[in-house]
Homo-oligomer: A and B are copies of this chain.
Amino acid sequence: MSATPSAADAYAPTDRTVPTRSRERASYDRDLVHAILDADYLCHLGFVRDGAPVVLPTLYARVGERLYVHGSTGSRPLRGAGEDTGLPVCLTVTHLDGLVLARSAFNHTINYRSVVVHGVARQVTDPAERSTALDALVDHIVPGRVADSRPANAKELAATAVIALDLHEVSAKVRTGGPGDDPEDLTLPHWTGVLPVTRAYGTPEPADDLDPSVTVPDYLAAR
């Protein structure tokens, strides 16, 4: 995965997307980056405010080579992204896949898949793109939901800011597999292996005011 594919299939590494350690875990493969981004919808968005870092959780969706993040027009990052220069951000997505228990405390680690995107976020002002982005956000989180909900009206659209971040300066990092114990530790008596971790969905809980004749839609029941 650390081999560099052709330009069309990979993002070009930059100073800040080449990690200082565990470089063998880094990848710039476009399909891998897309797969990691599409497997989640909650990211951590970092920006600088008054010289200090701020990291906020937020929802996102990918459309081609662009990520969309939405929020209130009054929120800080959204306001910054509306200025002429845009807002420099770092958007990070992390799937935790397993706790890796080595025989030595030192070699404990986690299995994960992460993507880090650096770039300048800009507010989306074009009405058609805003509408596309908002639909993508709903359908990315709950596929099928756009067709089964009331579309936003003009007042709601006006109250929603959407920012776009293009996928140019991007890297993925992946760790898989079992523990890497040192040879001299292999005979120690401790259990060693991986405890898998996943995101799980429970039984849908109807709202108190839902008409009891409305059944759980297929797109939720299958989850």
| A169 CB to nearest chain B CB (Å) | 10
When all copies of this chain in the complex are counted, the total is: 2
Supposing A103-B149, A145-B108 touch, asked if A206 and B190 sit within 8 A by C-beta, the answer is: no
Q: Let me know if A64 is at the binding interface, CB within 8 A.
A: no
How many positions in chain A have a CB within 8 Å of any CB in the partner chain? 93
A27 in the interface (beta carbon within 8 A): no
Q: Which residues of B contact A178 (CB under 8 A)?
A: 205, 207-208
* Given A59-B110, A101-B142, A192 and B206 contact (CB-CB distance below 8 Å): yes
**For chain A residues 41-98, which have a beta carbon within 8 Å of chain B?**
42, 44-57, 59, 72, 74-76, 88-92, 94, 96, 98
CB atoms of B205 and A191 under 8 A apart? no
Instruction: Say yes or no: B205 contacts A116, CB within 8 Å.
Output: no
Report A85 CB to chain B, min CB distance, Å.
12
Give me the 3 closest cross-chain CB pairs, A-B, nearest first: A196-B202, A200-B200, A46-B55
- With contacts A47-B53, A99-B142, A178-B207 known, what are 4 further pairs, Cβ within 8 A? A46-B53, A101-B149, A148-B190, A191-B210
Residues of A within 8 A of B (CB): 16, 20-21, 42, 44-57, 59, 72, 74-76, 88-92, 94, 96, 98-99, 101-106, 108, 110, 112, 114, 116, 118, 134-135, 138, 141-142, 145-146, 148-153, 156, 160, 178-179, 181, 185-186, 188-210, 214-217, 220, 223
* 19 A-B residue pairings within 8 Å (CB atoms): A42-B96, A51-B88, A52-B88, A52-B90, A53-B90, A54-B90, A55-B55, A56-B92, A99-B142, A103-B150, A104-B150, A105-B134, A142-B195, A181-B209, A191-B215, A191-B217, A194-B205, A196-B205, A198-B199
